[in-house]
Amino acid sequence: MKKLKTNLPLISFIVWFLSIIAFVILLAVATKGFSGTVQKTNFGSSPLFLALIRGVILLGFVSFGVAIISSIYKTFFSNRPENKKKNKFILFLKFITLLAIFPLVLIFKQINPLKITLFIKKNGFKKLLSSSRAKKLQSLKIFAKKSLNALLVIAFLLPIWVVGYEITGMIIGRKLGFINESIAITGTGSMYPTFPKGQGKTPEEQAKEIIGSPGMKLYPNGVVLFGKRFFSHNITRGDIVSFRNKKTEEITEKMHGSPSGFIKRIIGLPGDKIEIKDGLVILNGSPIKEQYIAKARSTFGGQFLPECHEITVSENQLFVMGDNRKGSGDSRHELGFIDFQDIDHVLALKKQPGTYDQHWRDTSKDFNKSSKIKLDKQKYLELLNEKRKEVEAQPLKYQPRLEESAFKRGEVILKYDDFSFEATRSGYTMLKAMSDAGYSNITYGEAPQQGYYEAEELIENQFEFPETKNFLLNKDYQETGIAEVEGTLNGCPAQILVQHFAGYVPPNYKTSDTESWEQSLAGLKEIRPSWENIRTSSNLYSNNKDKAERIIQIINIRISRIEAIVSRMRANQWLTKEEQGYIDQDLSLYNEQQELAKFLNEQKW
């Protein structure tokens, strides 16, 4: 038992070393010689591998700990009578101190430079050199052994202690907010110009492209003592934060196929009143100049915060927006407020100048009306057709009459504050607007949007939202028209941008339907002469003149109408509203014709 205690440090170190070898062997077997991943092999995915790997790791940790503790005890505390007289607290402090610098203590103990220095100082080099050969060999053996032990400590134990201190320091530094972490920024462009846009052609490609890794501090940071947090960063307006919650995961899953978090800028703190009006952010009653946003007067409302509506930020929540206001899904839209607890990293506003402000703007003219943006419609159409070409949709042609109908709809939308396609408040639908503009088509759709946009901004904003993107890429559309309408909305100045789309889609009638109408037409033409001859039968005709003329009239009406229907079907053209009405009325005419025929056939000719 005593021998076991004496050899415990060595045995523990051997077990630790063997556990490392076992760990490597298990990984090699599970990955087939490190040629694949653990999960793709039968052994790697088995419960046995998981149990063995956990057991080896646990054995390694335990054996290493036992080796270090037993080595310290054996080296500095074992068989020392004076230790029994010392205070236990003092012994504990000594043990902790030795544990903290154990590799350095071992190296010092093996080499013992102080002892060598004192010996040389007392006896000089001559005595050391004049020693007998046997003593020299003995000294060399001792020196070689101690040097080897010191090298082993330097090679194995010292790196472990250094890495341990480094990891501990980083963890403490992160928690206190002293160390920045690199947070990956994707190329979606929602924080442009503070962070650049990606080069990918589609939002999906941009979402996978990393365009920067700014240093951000962990949040919350600092030290918690007696229920209070000290040395922590207090979130302020203008800070950039990284956060993740259920809503961000839903949005990113829908847009890019994988759930993730957002990076946005803090605009409103709890209790702040925020309103978006005429392209500006009104904070607590005053418009603010934002040098970090992509364009002046580029902030417009969404479903959560509509234009010209004031909202108060709730307690323990924040209002966030991206710097690229026309290309950012944020608190204005379905994201809404975020909680403080959603935030995981923060980049303080005061840390941004000098590094992230290279493309910030001059805001001196932001409140001037000249700062309002106008849309280059031709440029926008070119950009949209490029997107449509990518999905093999035919290019759109610009139709002035659709621009006219879009303008008429825009005036009504502003007047009634009714963006619904059904025009539930005004009753003035797109169909009525197209009719008033002298335009008609089979397929049509409308995209109203509030704000001032350049061509690139409008495309970028629209393709940020999957529903709008799918609408613009609809392959049924062939023509478009765009109108910018300025006016007031809820008593404040506003602009509505209305896009009208229309196209012709062939009906592609069933052959059986066309043939059925052709047969009806042929049958009517066949019986018409015989019914017209009823006029030559003086008695029958004179006694039933009204009924006879009525059946002839019905036959002629049906022939005329069915000829029009068949002509449209043969040409694969849509029926007009009037012709659609003919179909709805034909059954009643047929029934009336049959009743008249039955009555007249029962009379004597």
Mean per-residue pLDDT over the chain, rounded = 83
pLDDT band at 330 (very low <50, low <70, confident <90, very high): very high
pLDDT for 207-227, tens place per residue?
A: 778 888 888 988 887 766 666
pLDDT band at 156 (very low <50, low <70, confident <90, very high): low
Per DSSP (E only), the strands in 192-303 are 210-212, 215-218, 223-225, 228-230, 240-243, 262-268, 273-277, 280-283, 286-287
- Are 365 and 296 in contact by the 8 Å Cβ rule? The answer is yes
More confident residue, 349 or 100: 349
pLDDT (0 to 100) of residue 435? 93
CA distance 595 to 428: 44
Say how many C-beta atoms besides its own lie within 10 A of residue 320's C-beta.
26
Share of the chain above pLDDT 70, in %: 77
Distances (CA, A) of 72 to 2, 88, 103, 111, 149: 17, 16, 10, 17, 15
- Are 499 and 482 in contact by the 8 Å Cβ rule? The answer is yes
pLDDT for 410-452, tens place per residue?
A: 999 999 989 999 999 999 999 999 999 999 888 999 999 888 8
pLDDT (0 to 100) of residue 204? 72
pLDDT band at 4 (very low <50, low <70, confident <90, very high): very low
Cross-strand partners of 89 = none
pLDDT for 38-71, tens place per residue?
A: 666 677 677 887 888 888 888 877 777 776 677 6
More confident residue, 323 or 214: 323
Give the CATH H-level superfamily of domain 373-503: CAP (3.40.33.10)
Nearest alpha-carbon partner for 449 in 440, 458, 438, 457 = 458
CA distance 271 to 132: 89
Q: Domain 182-365: which CATH class? A: mainly beta
pLDDT (0 to 100) of residue 212? 80
State the DSSP code for 352.
S
Say how many C-beta atoms besides its own lie within 10 A of residue 70's C-beta.
20
pLDDT (0 to 100) of residue 595? 93
More confident residue, 3 or 357: 357
Tokens matching residue 561? 């109408």
pLDDT band at 519 (very low <50, low <70, confident <90, very high): very high
pLDDT (0 to 100) of residue 78? 60
Bridge-based pairing of strands 479-489 and 397-398 is parallel
pLDDT band at 262 (very low <50, low <70, confident <90, very high): very high
pLDDT (0 to 100) of residue 120? 55
Distances (CA, A) of 510 to 74, 516, 564, 569: 97, 10, 17, 9
CA distance 110 to 54: 35
pLDDT(110) > 70: no
Angle at 400 between CA 394 and CA 403, to 5 degrees: 90
pLDDT (0 to 100) of residue 2? 47
Per DSSP (E only), the strands in 15-131 are none
More confident residue, 15 or 169: 15
List all residues 6 or more positions away from 357 whose beta carbon is below 8 Å from its beta carbon.
194, 291, 292
pLDDT (0 to 100) of residue 158? 67
CA distance 408 to 428: 9
Alpha helices, DSSP H only, in 31-112? 47-76, 81-85, 88-100, 102-111
383: left (phi over 0), alpha (psi -120 to 50) or beta: alpha
Tokens matching residue 5? 């205690």
pLDDT(133) > 60: no
Would you say the pTM of this structure is higher than 0.85?
no
More confident residue, 99 or 534: 534
pLDDT for 527-586, tens place per residue?
A: 999 898 888 876 778 888 899 899 999 999 999 999 999 998 998 888 888 999 999 999
pLDDT for 266-301, tens place per residue?
A: 999 999 999 998 889 999 999 999 999 988 888 988
pLDDT (0 to 100) of residue 538? 67
More confident residue, 98 or 379: 379
Cross-strand partners of 392 = none
- Give DSSP secondary structure letters for 512-580: HHHHHHHHHHHHHHHHHHHHHGGGG-HHHHHHSHHHHHHHHHHHHHHHHHHHHHHHHHHTT-PPPHHHH
pLDDT (0 to 100) of residue 446? 96
More confident residue, 229 or 478: 478
Tokens matching residue 544? 């039933």
Cross-strand partners of 486 = 495
List all residues 6 or more positions away from 474 whose beta carbon is below 8 Å from its beta carbon.
393, 445, 501, 503
pLDDT (0 to 100) of residue 534? 85
State the DSSP code for 31.
T
Cis-peptide into 81, omega within 30 deg: no
Q: How far apart are the first and last CA of the chain?
A: 136
pLDDT (0 to 100) of residue 90? 63
pLDDT(128) > 60: no
pLDDT for 163-206, tens place per residue?
A: 766 776 676 666 666 677 888 888 788 999 999 888 877 767 77
- Give DSSP secondary structure letters for 405-424: HHHHHHHHHHHHT---TT-T
Amino acid at 78: S
Q: What is the mean pLDDT of residues 377-386?
A: 96
Nearest alpha-carbon partner for 106 in 115, 98, 114 = 98
- Are 94 and 82 in contact by the 8 Å Cβ rule? The answer is no
Distances (CA, A) of 270 to 237, 264, 305, 306: 11, 17, 16, 19
CA distance 285 to 325: 20
Q: At what angle do helices 102-111 and 158-176 cross, to 10 degrees?
A: 150
More confident residue, 506 or 157: 506
pLDDT band at 1 (very low <50, low <70, confident <90, very high): very low
Least confident of 9-18, 76-85, 566-575: 76-85
List all residues 6 or more positions away from 556 whose beta carbon is below 8 Å from its beta carbon.
528
Tokens matching residue 426? 């005004």
Say how many C-beta atoms besides its own lie within 10 A of residue 319's C-beta.
28
Q: What is the mean pLDDT of residues 103-124?
A: 62
